[in-house]
C-alpha cells in the first residue's frame, strides 16, 4: 500500500544522511524517503580520508568517544555488505589493517603510551620490530623508530562509499533526491537533519543554537607512479615530531595524505599545512616524494565542544538531529545512522543496551 | 592600400609569438598578421613566474647566454611601454628589483662566487648586511646567512603581459587570431614558428628535427592573507642547501613560488618538488607558511642542448623559426621578438652589431 506508506525527509546527503536514509529504508522498505541537499557529498564526506580507526584514533581521556567508535566499527561490516548487495559501485572498503609509525624516539614513546591506552580497551595493537614492519610494508623508511600494527583498523573511500549509497538508494524505487536547500517547512517529526556544519543555520529557525564550528584541515590526493605500485597495502599513520600524519593507499593507486587541524576560519589549503603534511609523510614513506599531486584541498569537520556528535529528537518541533561528528564522521556514520533512524522511526525503545548508552552519550541537547 | 599589404603568419600565441607579432605590427603597421594557436597562453607563458633577471639568473660558463639576457633586458622597457600605450590591461611589469638570499654558510659562499661573476659583466649586485636587507624586506627570515641586492632585475606577470599583448594586437585592427592547430600549408617565407615545445612536430614536416625537450618544473601560486600584505616588495630568490627557489610577489597579493627542474617526462606536480619549494621558500620567508595555496601546477620549458634559443630562417622552406627559449623565455622574449620579426620582414641586414651577434649565437641550425 504505497499510498499510505509513511514518508520521511532526510536533510543532508553526506555520509550521515545517506547512511541514515539507507538504515531507514532497510527498516521500512515501503516508506518514501526524500533526501534534500543542493550539493550531495560536498562537505566533510567529500574531503575525508575515510579511515575506520577506533584504535589508532583514540585520544587520551576520551573514553566515552572510544565507546562510540568501537560500537560503530562493529556495525560497519554489515552496513557495507547490505549496500554492496544493492549496487555495482565499489565502496572502497579495505580491511588490510593499519600501521602507526613513529619518527623519532619521543614519537616512539608517544606510540608506546597510546598502546597501553588501546590495550585498556582490549583492542588489538602490537609493537613490531622495524624489520617485521618493513617486510610487510617495504616502502616504510628505514629511519623510523617504531611501528605498531593495528589489524582491526580499516578504511573506506568516502566518495565511492557515498556514491554507492546513492546508487543503492536510487535503486530502491522509494527514495527521491531533491537538489535544493532545506526550508523551515521541511522540519518536523518526520524529518532528520544530517547536514553537518549546515545544520546550525537550518536548526536556528527552531530556536535551537547548535554549537557547531568548522575545524579545517588540509588534505591531498596523489597518484602513485607505476614504478612504486603498490606503494602501501595498509593505511600508514605516523607521529613525526609529535605531529600526526596519515598516508592512505587506495586500491586505485591513489594516495590520500592528511591530518592537519586548525580553527582559523580559513577554507583554503595553507602552505604551512601542506608543507608539514608532505614533509611528515615523506619522513615515514620516502617514495611519497615521487608521487604526482592531483588534488590539494581543505575540508571542514563539524566540531562540537565535547568532541561528541549530537543525535537527539528536538522535543518542541519533533525534528531529529544527527550532526557534529567532528573528526570521526566516517567511522561514526554507521552508529549515527542506526541511532538516528531509530529515533526517527520511533523504534529507539527497541535498541539494545549499547545503543541506548550511545544515544545517551550523544543526546546532550535533548 | 590594405589589399596589397603584406600578410604574415605567426604560429604560436605564447609570449614569443605575441611579442613577435607586436614587433611585426610596429614595423609594418598595415601588414595583416594571423596568429595561429588552438590554445593561446597555454604553454610555458602560462606557467612562468616572469622574472626578468639577467643578473640573478646568470650561470657559470654561460657567457654567451648572458649576452642575450642583457641585450633583451635593454629592449624590455620600450617594448612594455609600446604595448601599455595600446591597451588598458595591466602588464604586471614591476621594477622594484630583486634580492637573492642564502640560507646557510655554503649557500652564502655560492652567492659570493656568483657576485664575482655578475660583476665581471659589470652588472649591479651588492652584498647587504642582514639588517639592511630586513629593513627593506621585513619578511625575510632572521636565520639566513646573506643577501645580495640586484636593483636592475625586474619581473613581469606573464599571464597579464600576454593578455595585454593580445588586447593591443586585437586593437590594431590588422591582426586576426585563428584558434586552430597550424598545418603544413601555414609554413613558408611569410611564416614564423614560435610554438615553444610544439615547434618540433610543426617543423618535422620540413625535415627539420629540432632537438627540443620538455624541462618540467613545479610552480605554485599562493594568496597572501591581509595580515601579511605586502609580504614582499621585491622578487626574493634563494639558495637553500644548494637548491634554488624564488618567491615572486605580485601587486595583486599573489605570490608565485618555483624553481624546480626535471626532465623525467612527467607533467603533473610531484610531491617532492612541491615539498622542496615550500620548505625552501619558508626557510627564506617564514610567513609563506601562512599563505593560502591557490594553484599547484607543473609547466614545461622548451629545452635545447646548448641552453640557447633557436632563431633562424630555415633556408629550404623560407620559414622563420623562433623557439627553444628554455629557462629564460620571458626575459628573452623581447630580443627574440626583435630578431624573429627582423628575419621575417627581411630587415635583419639593418640590425645593429649587438643584434647581429645575438642572431649568430641563436642561429646554430641555419
For residue B230, whether the previous peptide bond is cis, meaning omega lies within 30 degrees of 0, is yes
Does a structural domain hold residue A37? yes
Contact between chains at A270 and B279 (C-beta distance less than 8 A): no
Closest to B292 (Cβ–Cβ): which among A266, A275, A294? A266
Q: Which of B202, B297, B204, B265 is nearest to B12 (CA)?
A: B202
Going by their DSSP bridges, the two strands A154-155 and A51-52 should be labelled as antiparallel
Q: Is there a contact between B212 and B12 (Cβ–Cβ < 8 Å)?
A: no
Is 90 exceeded by the pLDDT of residue B353? yes
Residue where a domain stops, chosen among A303, A323, A344: A303
Instruction: Identify the band that residue A57 occupies on the pLDDT scale cut at 50, 70 and 90.
Output: very high
Task: Say if B178 is an interface residue toward chain A (CB within 8 Å).
Answer: no
B262 touches chain A (CB under 8 A): no
Span A356-360, average pLDDT: 95
SS3 B123: coil
Query: Which residue range(s) make up the domain with B67?
Result: 7-88+157-212+305-363
In the beta sheet, which residues pair with residue B102?
Answer: B146, B239
Give the separation between CA B113 and CA B121, rounded to whole angstroms. 13
Same domain, residue pair B161 and B173: yes
In a domain, B93, yes or no: no
Q: Residues B22, B170: contact at Cβ < 8 Å?
A: no
pLDDT band at A1 (very low <50, low <70, confident <90, very high): very low
What pLDDT, on the 0 to 100 scale, is given for residue B5? Answer: 76
Instruction: Say which CATH number the domain at B112 has.
Output: 3.30.9.10
Number of domains in chain B: 2
- Cβ neighbors of A185 (< 8 A, separation 6 or more) are none
- Reading phi first (left if > 0) and then psi (alpha if -120 to 50, else beta), residue A148 is in beta
Indicate whether B207 pLDDT > 70: yes
Same domain for B224 and B76, yes or no, is no
C-alpha separations of A33 from A186, A339, B253 in Å: 12, 17, 48
Say if residues A219 and A298 touch (Cβ distance below 8 Å). yes
Residue A356 lies in a domain: yes
Phi, psi dihedral angles at A134 (to 5 degrees): -75, -20
Cβ-in-10-Å burial (0-12, 13-18, 19+) of A7 comes to exposed
The verdict on a CB contact (< 8 Å) between A274 and B274 is yes
* Same domain as A324, residue A252: no
Residues from chain A that touch B294, judged by Cβ atoms under 8 A, are 268
Question: What pLDDT shows up at residue B2?
Answer: 47
pLDDT tens string B136-189: 999 999 999 999 999 999 999 999 999 999 999 999 999 999 999 999 999 999
Instruction: Flag whether B73 is in a domain.
Output: yes
- pLDDT score of B251 more than 90: no
Tell whether B223 and B143 lie within a shared domain. Answer: yes
A67-77 average pLDDT score = 97
Instruction: Assess whether B161 and B206 both reside in one domain.
Output: yes
Q: How far apart are CA B142 and CA B144, in angstroms?
A: 6
Same-domain status, A162 and A289:
no
B317 with B274, same domain? no
Q: What are phi and psi of B293, to 5 degrees?
A: -80, 120
Give the residue among B60, B126, B127, B136 at the shortest CA–CA distance from B96: B136
Task: Please give the average per-residue pLDDT across B328-338, as a whole number.
Answer: 97
- Closest-CA residue of chain A to B297: A293
Residue B226 phi/psi, 5-degree rounding, is: -50, -40
Bridge partners (DSSP) of residue B101 are B147, B238
Q: Are residues B29 and B125 in the same domain?
A: no
**CA-to-CA distance for A246 and A260, rounded, in angstroms?**
10
Are the Cβ atoms of A293 and B222 closer than 8 angstroms?
Answer: no
Among A257, A275, A284, A290, most B C-beta atoms within 10 A, so best to mutate, is: A275
Burial B197-207 (b: 16+ CB within 10 A, else e): bbbbebbeebe
pLDDT of residue A366 exceeding 70:
no
Instruction: Identify the residue among B247, B256, B271 best suited for mutation to test binding to A, counting A beta carbons within 10 A and taking the highest.
Output: B271
Is the same domain home to A250 and A235?
Answer: yes
Nearest to A292 among B269, B288, B294 (CB): B269
User: Nearest-CA neighbor of A21 among A37, A30, A9?
Assistant: A9
pTM, 2 dp: 0.94
| Residue B269 in contact with partner chain A when CB distance is under 8 A | yes
Residue that terminates a domain, selected from A288, A303, A318: A303
| Greatest Cα pair distance in chain B | 66
B contacts of A279 (beta carbons < 8 Å): 275, 279
- The mean pLDDT value of chain A amounts to 96
- What H or E segment, with its residue span, contains residue A204? helix A199-204
| B118-123 CB contacts, 8 Å cutoff, 24+ apart | B118/B55, B118/B58, B118/B150, B121/B55, B121/B58, B121/B66, B121/B70, B123/B54, B123/B55, B123/B58, B123/B70, B123/B150, B123/B152
Of B272, B281, B288, the CB nearest to A289: B272
pLDDT at res. B363: 83
Check: CB of residue A366 under 8 Å from CB of residue A311: no
ipTM of the complex: 0.93
Residues B154, B50: Cα–Cα separation, whole Å? 9
- Asked if residue A19 and residue A141 are part of one domain, the reply reads no
User: b or e along B109-128 (b: 16 or more beta carbons within 10 Å of the residue's beta carbon)?
Assistant: ebbeebbebbeeeebebebb
The domain that holds A186 is classified in CATH as: 3.50.50.60
Q: For residue B318, tell me if it sits in a domain.
A: yes
| A2 domain-assigned | no
Q: Report the candidate in B323, B359, B342 with the shortest Cα–Cα distance to residue B11.
A: B323
**What is the helix (H) or strand (E) element at residue B118, kind and residue range?**
helix B105-120
Q: Do B290 and A272 touch (CB under 8 A)?
A: yes
The SS3 call for residue B360 is helix
In a domain, A93, yes or no: no
pLDDT in tens, A288-315: 999 999 999 999 999 999 999 999 999 9
Dihedral sign from CA coordinates of B202, B205, B208, B213:
positive
Q: What is the pLDDT of residue A3?
A: 56
- Indicate whether A222 belongs to any domain: yes
Residue B46 — pLDDT band, cuts 50, 70, 90? very high
Q: What is the pLDDT of residues B183-195, one digit of tens each?
A: 999 999 999 999 9
Cβ atoms of B277 and B260 closer than 8 Å: yes
Q: Is B295 on the interface with A (CB under 8 A)?
A: no
> Does B271 contact chain A (CB < 8 Å)?
yes
Task: Please name the residues in contact with A172: beta carbons below 8 A apart, sequence gap of 6 or more.
Answer: A25, A29, A86
**Residues A74 and A202 both lie in one domain:** yes
Q: Which of B222, B271, B291 sits opposite A289 (nearest CB)?
A: B271
pLDDT computed for residue A360 by the predictor: 94
The bridge status of strand B146-150 relative to strand B126-128 is antiparallel
**Among B residues 202-241, those touching chain A with beta carbons less than 8 Å apart:** 220, 222-223, 225
| Contacts B272 to A, Cβ<8 Å | 282, 288-290
Rounded to whole angstroms, the Cα distance separating A41 from A15 reads: 7
Candidates A222, A292, A296; nearest CB to B293: A296
Q: Is A129 on the interface with B (CB under 8 A)?
A: no
Q: Which of A303, A322, A348 is a domain's end point?
A: A303
Could you tell me which residues are beta bridge partners of residue A337? none
Q: Where are the alpha helices (DSSP H) in A28-62?
A: 44-47
Q: In chain A, which residues have their Cβ closer than 8 Å to the Cβ of B279? A: 275, 279
Residue B365 has pLDDT above 70, yes or no: no
Q: What is the pLDDT of residue B364?
A: 66
pLDDT average, residue stretch B244-273:
96
Residues of A within 8 A of B288 (CB-CB) are 271-272
Cross-chain Cβ contact A266/B225 below 8 Å: yes
Task: Provide φ and ψ at A223, rounded to 5°.
Answer: -105, 130
Please check whether residues B218 and B282 belong to one and the same domain. Answer: yes
Q: Which residues of A touch B222 (CB under 8 A)?
A: 271
Q: Give the model's pLDDT for residue B3.
A: 56
Does residue A125 sit in helix, strand or coil?
coil
d(CA A312, CA A2): 28
Distance between terminal CA atoms of chain B?
Answer: 34
In this complex, the residue of B222, B269, B271 whose CB is nearest that of residue A271 is B222
State yes or no: pLDDT of B366 exceeds 70: no
The residue-averaged pLDDT of B36-41 equals 98
Q: State residue B6's pLDDT score.
A: 86
**Average pLDDT value for residue range B220-248:** 97
Name the burial class of residue B187, with classes exposed (0-12), middle (13-18) and buried (19+) by CB atoms within 10 angstroms of its CB: buried
Query: What is the rounded distance in angstroms from the CA atom of residue A65 to the CA atom of residue A12?
Result: 23
Amino acid at each position: 500500500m504505497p499510498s499510505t506508506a509513511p514518508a520521511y525527509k532526510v536533510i543532508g546527503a553526506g555520509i550521515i544522511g545517506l547512511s541514515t536514509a539507507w538504515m531507514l529504508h532497510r527498516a521500512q522498505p515501503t516508506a518514501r524517503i526524500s533526501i534534500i541537499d543542493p550539493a550531495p557529498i560536498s562537505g566533510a564526506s567529500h574531503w575525508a580520508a575515510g579511515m575506520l580507526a577506533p584504535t589508532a584514533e583514540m585520544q587520551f581521556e576520551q573514553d566515552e568517544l572510544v565507546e562510540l567508535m568501537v560500537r560503530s566499527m562493529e556495525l560497519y561490516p554489515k552496513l557495507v555488505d547490505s549496500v554492496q548487495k544493492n549496487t555495482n559501485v565499489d565502496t572502497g572498503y579495505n580491511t588490510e589493517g593499519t600501521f602507526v609509525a613513529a619518527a623519532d624516539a619521543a614519537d616512539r614513546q608517544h606510540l608506546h603510551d597510546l598502546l597501553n591506552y588501546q590495550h585498556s580497551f582490549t583492542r588489538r595493537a602490537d609493537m613490531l620490530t622495524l624489520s617485521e614492519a618493513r617486510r610487510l610494508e617495504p616502502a616504510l623508511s628505514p629511519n623510523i623508530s617504531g611501528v605498531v600494527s593495528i589489524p582491526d583498523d580499516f578504511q573506506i573511500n568516502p566518495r565511492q562509499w557515498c556514491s554507492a549509497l546513492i546508487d543503492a538508494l536510487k535503486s530502491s524505487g522509494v527514495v527521491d533526491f531533491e537538489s535544493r536547500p532545506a526550508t523551515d517547512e521541511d522540519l518536523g517529526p518526520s524529518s532528520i537533519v544530517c547536514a553537518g556544519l549546515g545544520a546550525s543555520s537550518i536548526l536556528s529557525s527552531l530556536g535551537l543554537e547548535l554549537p557547531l564550528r568548522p575545524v579545517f584541515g588540509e588534505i591531498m590526493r596523489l597518484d602513485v607512479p607505476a614504478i612504486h605500485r603498490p606503494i602501501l597495502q595498509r593505511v600508514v599513520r605516523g607521529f613525526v615530531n609529535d605531529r600526526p600524519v596519515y598516508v592512505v593507499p587506495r586500491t586505485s593507486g591513489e594516495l590520500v595524505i592528511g591530518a592537519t587541524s586548525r580553527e582559523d576560519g580559513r577554507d583554503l589549503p595553507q602552505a604551512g599545512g601542506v608543507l608539514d603534511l608532505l614533509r611528515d609523510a615523506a619522513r615515514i614513506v620516502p617514495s611519497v616524494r615521487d608521487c604526482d599531486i592531483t588534488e590539494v584541498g581543505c575540508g571542514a569537520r563539524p566540531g562540537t565542544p565535547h568532541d561528541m556528535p549530537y543525535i537527539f529528537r528536538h522535543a518542541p518541533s519533533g525534528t531529529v538531529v544527527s550532526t557534529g561528528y567532528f573528526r570521526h564522521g566516517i567511522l561514526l556514520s554507521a552508529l549515527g545512522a542506526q541511532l538516528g533512524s531509530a529515533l526517527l522511526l520511533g523504534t529507539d525503545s527497541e535498541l539494545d543496551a549499547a545503543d541506548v548508552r550511545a544515544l545517551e552519550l550523544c543526546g546532550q541537547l535533548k
